[in-house]
Each structure stands twice: as structure tokens, then as C-alpha cells.
Amino acid sequence: MSRQTPVGIDLGTTFSTAAWVDESGRTEIVRNAEGELLTPSAVMFADEELVVGKEARSATTIHPEMVAEWVKRDMGLPYYSRPIHGRKLPPEVIQACILRKLKGDIVRELGRVDRVVITVPAYFDEPRRKGTADAGEMAGLKVLDIVNEPTAAALSFGETLGYLTPGAEPKEEMTLLVYDLGGGTFDVTLLRLSPGKIQTIATDGDVMLGGHDWDLRLVDYVARRFKRLHKRDPREDPVIINRALAAAIDAKHALSARGRTIMHIEVAGQTVEVPITRGQFEEMTADLLERTTYTTRQLLAAAKMEWKDVSRVLLVGGSTRMPMVGEMLRNLSGMEPDHTVNADEAVARGAALYAAYLLDKESGDEARAGLSITNVNSHSLGVEGIDPETLRKKNVVLIPRNTPLPAKFTERFVTRSENQRSIAVQIIEGESSMPDECTAIGRTVIRDLPKGLPKNWPIEVTFEYAENGRLTVKAVAPGTHQGATLDMERSVGISREGMTRWKQPIDEAAGFDAFESMIQEVMEPSADDHDEPTTPEAIRAMQADFSGPVSGPSRPGGWTPFVAGPRSPEPEPETSPEQDDESLVADGTHRVKSVARPSFPRWVGLIGHVIAALLGLALGYMILCRLRPESFPFPW
């Protein structure tokens, strides 16, 4: 059997790149067909063909309605936030178009492509991770695994310093803080490095914060100046605003090298010049930088560590080139940030190294057999329940965030009532105590329990979280031979059949007509697909079948381009008043008991609030009358 070539792909918000590991074990970056190392993550859906990269990004100033950008921020949503040719496309499909372009570049350089590792932000939740894997499959790639971007960056750092070889010459153990500020997302991760071992300690992040937000501040600045001069807001014109965005990106890069620059924007044959200094830029974006500062402090607090415990601060992501980032980290940590790895290439190189590690493990190759890589889960995993004291929904966490993987936890619950015939287990992901603020990632039901079971019959729920981030949930009723197992899949998204059918226009780089045809054939009929709900109506259909609380899809934010205006929130699915599959009751005082929640009309609660307010006013008036009868006469 011929040797498989390890390949890693950094699927970025603004730029994407691929790397591979040669026979000597060194990583190399794949050049694209245009001869460049970085490929803009932009897709133009022209009438006759699909265009990915620099040409697509340039087209935003001419045909913005044809171009999709910043799609990574919309992962986890049913549709990309801006219509293309007036039609909605799934973000996974657009990401697959980018991956298909990278696949072609890899084949051009290496002659073939075997299995690949694709990176995601450490703070991506389950729907976003699964969506990324789906995009790889639709692009015709065999996805070996998904790996966190900071972990990949640490692998690249370890390669540079010689930490990846087990039993290498003695090197001191170090604690590495990876500060990863990319074009659209921010991650900060603590890792411990020693020869042959990389261990993730804790991770945090913001999937809606990146260099693009700095660009938009410059766009707003120049738009205000333009409006004062010409009494017209350029943000209302998609062509002009995309020109302003391109000028803002150029200005941001210039201000990283010098203290001042001039933004040039052409409007109606006139060139508008707007000067700006680095100080002004830093002042208008200070709150964005503070968000990364706060998240970094929170990470150290969660890990119970101080800056004196950190050996190095590694900068990753193109946005870390802004001088304000390095200055902030110097003031915060008291140490000089580390630029050992290339900020644009480190993640792709690390992904290739991770692919080599996994392939060597499969084949039993001794070269990397001793290398140990440990990740943590970035979000808590739990079960939806109800607090019996407040009758409010409660997130009962089974696997807390930052738990080393693999992990396995079992929690004992009991039935809520006599003769209970079914148990519903709703799995959620997130940190909030309120399930509605978390992501519903799956549901499993134990049915056909024996008749006559007494109240408080034990139910055991087990969560198994593998190294690759895949979750398996098992629920059993001991002594009844009844149980259910659920290998977690996305509760929303493209069906397996739909993914297979999307492959054809993606692989052929077809024109938009082919994609529009697929929207009609695959996406619109899938609204009635019971197994893969993609609309509130479909979710309600599943809810009526199970008669239990089912949350809608994850609704992360996402950059809505100026031409599209603010995106309206998706309607919340209605809850069924009936409870055929009853919830779990926790067994033990250390867990919140989960019981069925009675359903009341909303007007009942409103009347209660009004009555309580009137009673409060009356009581207050009576007290004032008692204390100051001369001012507040009251007929006793």
C-alpha cells in the first residue's frame, strides 16, 4: 500500500490555505493555481461558472449580488446571511466550493489528495463543526478529522522548536498561550508542551470577533466623512460600500506599517480622500481589542493560572500584525509576544502535522507513535431539565467545558411518575443555565418501558465524548432491557441525500443556474423532511411527534453586509402543550431535578404581573400613610 500524504486545510474566514507533510516530516504550503500561498475565501456564482479566490473578491465592487464572503461566520445557520442572485444558499455549500478549489490546488501540486484534516476555531460548537465536515465531504474530500486552530498552531510551533519528537533531547516543559485573532474569529487557548506531548489546558473565544470588525469601523468612519461632504450615505450603495471596504482593508494594513495613511474611494467619478492616523484607528477600535483582553483574562481565571505561569504568548492569525495587539499583550502579560510561527501559515501546517499523527497512529508507524495530543471540549454538554422550585428550564451539565478528551460521564436519573412508558433526553451544548440560550444538538427517547414501573425507577444517562469531538449518548433503564443510543448528528442541516446531490454542481464548478436548480430540488423539499428539519415548521412537526421540548437551530450572529441590512431573527418554534415523552428527574441532591413543566397561556402570566404591581403600589401607599399621616390622608 502506498504512503498516504498527510494534508491539512485552514478554512479561514478571509483566507484559506493548505499544507502537506513531505517524506522527511517537514511541512510545506501548497501554492494555488495563481501561484499564491493564500486563497481569498470568496466565491462568485457567475451565470456560467463558479469562481473562487482573488477574482471573486475583486468582483464584490462590481457584482456584489453574485459574491459570497465571510461565510464561516454563518456556519450553524440554515442559510448564508446574504442572498446570492436573490436566492438563499446553505453556508456548508459555499464552504464546499472553497474546499473544492483547494482540493484542485492540492491535486495539481501533489498529484492526488488522500485524507485531510480541516481546522475550525476552538470555540466552534457541534453544529458548526459538523457543518465544516459536511462541506469537506461535498467538496469530494475524505475528512480524516476536524482539529482546533490553536491546537494546530501549537503543533506548528512544536515543529519549529523540535517538541514533536518523543524522547528528543531534553527540553523544558512550557505553558503556551495561543492568541489567535483571524479575519472573522478569535480564540485564546492554554496548552502545555513537552517533548512528544501537547496537552490543551483550557480554551475560550468569540466566533463573532475578528479583523473584519476592525475593517468595518474604518468603513463607518469614511462613510460619516463622505456623508458630511456629499449628503449621501455610501453604505446604502452595495458597490460603493464594497469599494470602501477594500479601501479600509488597505488602510488597516498600511497603519500596521506606519503612523498615518489616506483612504481613497471613487464615487461617481470623484475620488474622496480621507486621512486617518494609527492613533485614531486604535481609539475607534479600542472596545474590540478590550473584548479579546477580557476573554484572555477569563481564560486564565478558568484555568486557575496567572501570567507568571505562562511561558510564552504565541501570536497566530493575520490580525495580530496590528501593533495595538502586541502592545496590549505586552502590557497585560509583561512579556514580549512570540512571532516564531508565520501567522498566516501556522494553522495549515499544524493541521498537516495532525493529519500525519493520525495516519501514523492508524498504520502503527513508530515515527510518531509516541506523540501524545490531548484536546478539551470547548462547550459544556448537558441535558435539558426543569427546576421543580421555579418551574423553569435548567441546563443540567454532565461534561463541563475544558474537560480533557476522551471523557465519559454517567448520571443517574429517575422516572417522574407511576407507570411512565417513555423517557425523553434532550442534549444541549452551552454554558448558560437556560437551555434556550444553548444549542440543541440532539434528542433521544427510551420508549416502551414495561407497564407498572413505580415512580423513581432509575434511568442512567451516559455521555461519551471521543478525542475527535464526536459525542455518543446512551440512556438505559436498568432491569427493563430498554434503552436508546444516539451517535450525535446535527439536528438541522442538509440531509445525507442532499449532500450527495450537491456534490455534482460543486465538483463541476457549474454556473448559478445549476445551484438554483439544486435549491429547488434539495433545499425546498427538505423543509418537509422529518429526519432533517431545516425550518421552524419542520421542527414543530418533529416536536409534535415526540411531544417534548425541541429547540431550534443554533443561531449564531454573522456579518450581514451593508447591502443586506440587519438580518431578522428566525421565528422560535412553538412548544407542544402535551408531554407524551416525559422528562428526567435527577437522582441525588447534587443535581437539579428534571420534571415536566406545566404549560400556561402567556396572558395568565401578564395578568399576574399586573396584579402584583398594583398590590405593591397599594402596600407602599399604606406604609407612607402610617409613617406620615399629615401628608397622606387615608380613611381608616
CATH of the domain at 327: 3.90.640.10
Are 45 and 69 found together in one domain?
Answer: yes
Task: Examine the domain organization and report whether 38 and 157 are in the same domain.
Answer: yes
For 551-568, write each residue's pLDDT tens digit. 232 323 222 332 222 233
Distance of CA 252 to the CA centre of its chain: 26
Q: What is the pLDDT of residue 33?
A: 95
Residue 192: predicted pLDDT: 95
pLDDT digits (tens, 9 = 90+) for 277-301: 999 999 999 999 999 999 999 999 9
* CB-based contacts of 124, cutoff 8 Å, min separation 6: 75, 132, 207, 378
**527 plus 541 within the same structural domain:** no
- Smallest CA-to-CA distance from 333 within 305, 359, 360 is with 305
**One domain for residues 398 and 522:** no
Residue 596 lies in a domain: no
Residue 489 confidence (pLDDT): 46
Looking at the fold, whether 295 and 254 belong to one and the same domain comes out as yes
Which of 293-297, 321-325, 512-516 is the least confident region? 512-516
539 residue type, one letter: I
Assess if residue 75 is contained within a domain: yes
Residue-wise pLDDT for 578-606, tens only, equals 345 566 655 543 333 333 333 334 444 45
Specify whether 420 is located in the same domain as 323. Answer: no
218 and 301 part of one domain: yes
Rounded average pLDDT over 297-321: 96
The last residue of one of the domains, among 271, 303, 333, is 333
Q: What digits encode the pLDDT tens for the residues 36-65?
A: 999 999 999 999 899 999 999 999 988 999
450 and 354 in a common domain: no
Q: Of 470 and 356, which is predicted with more confidence?
A: 356
**pLDDT computed for residue 299 by the predictor:** 96
Rounded to 5°, angle at Cα 127 from 154 and 469 = 45
Q: Is 499 within a domain?
A: no
Q: Indicate the number of domains in the chain.
A: 4
User: In this structure, is residue 23 part of a structural domain?
Assistant: yes
What's the CATH code of the domain at 564? 2.60.34.10
Could you tell me if 149 and 225 lie in one domain? no
Q: What is the CATH number of the domain that holds 28?
A: 3.30.420.40
Q: Is 591 within the bounds of a domain?
A: no
- pLDDT interval class at 8 (50, 70, 90): very high
> At 535, which amino acid appears?
T
Q: Is 467 a catalytic residue?
A: no
Question: Which amino acid is present at 32?
Answer: N
Residue 338 falls within a domain, yes or no? no
Q: Is residue 501 part of a domain?
A: no
Position 557: which residue type? G
Angle at 572 between CA 566 and CA 574, to 5 degrees: 160
* DSSP letter string, 5-65: PPEEEE--SSEEEEEEE-TTS-EEEPP-TTS-S-EE-EEEE-SSBEEESHHHHHGGGT-GG
Known active-site residue 10: yes
Domain that holds residue 265: 172-333
In a domain, 450, yes or no: yes
468 and 560 in a single domain? The answer is yes
Q: Kindly state whether residues 285 and 204 are assigned to the same domain.
A: yes
The active-site residue out of 105, 149, 159, 532 is: 149
Indicate if 338 belongs to the active site: no
Least confident of 207-211, 463-467, 511-515, 529-533: 529-533
Cis previous bond, 406, omega within 30: yes
Range picked from 118-127, 320-329, 480-489, 600-609 for highest mean pLDDT: 320-329
Asked about 72 being catalytic, the answer comes back as yes
Of 69, 72, 105, 384, the active-site residue reads 72
Q: Considering the entire predicted model, what is its pTM?
A: 0.79
Residues 489 and 560 in one domain: yes
- The active-site residue, picked from 180, 187, 344, 532, is 180
